[in-house]
Structure 1
Amino acid sequence: MITVHLKYEIDPDRIEDFEEYGRRWITLVNRFGGTHHGYFLPSEGDSDIAYALFSFPGLAAYERYRADSAHDPECQEAIDLARRTGCIRRYERRFLRPLDQGPR
């Protein structure tokens, strides 16, 4: 399994646009065979940082999602929403793997 961790720098004045963007991607990632673990929005502290986590069974499945989503009209609409509104200033993407407990 591979988990993608996204850290977003968002425009706090466009939080509603970012929330709509996130709602769309939760549905889209799940539709493409991933498991979306949610978006985590500012509450206390920094007002311009948000996070998202989603997983795929492996790197090959993630790469298929990336290739397929690049041509999907709903994915392109979600990307266009972020560009049009400027709700995302920048983002960082990290790939994580879960720690297997293994034998004790």
Structure 2
Amino acid sequence: MVETELPCLEEGEVSSSESSSSETSASGSGSRRLRKSKRNRSGRRRLHRGSTAVDQAPSSEILNVVEYSEGSPNQVRAIEVANPPTDAATITRLPGLSWKHFLRDLKAGEIEQ
């Protein structure tokens, strides 16, 4: 799972996404409370997510492939193809690919983002 860092908010501030969602929803209390925050080493406060529901892409897809061969009619066949990982941490842990080679190839333009 990819862990994303949340923006730092001071106590009492509400992020734009929270303020827009609180405007659209009818709340009886009138004000929206922030989750508890912790101080990090620099003394700034950071909000922590309780649980994150990340939409996971399916691990594989089924594609319809047309096979062309001379002298015979075209055939349509369904094949299952695994989706490659999309986050950098998982990509650099793939067997046969070190993070140094990945970075070199990315900078050289051999790998598209």
User: What range describes the TM-score normalised by the shorter chain of this pair?
Assistant: under 0.3
TM-score, normalising length: structure 2: 0.23
Structure with more relative contact order (C-alpha pairs < 8 Å, separation 6 or more):
1
Greater strand content: 1
Greater helix content: 1
TM-score, normalising length: structure 1: 0.24
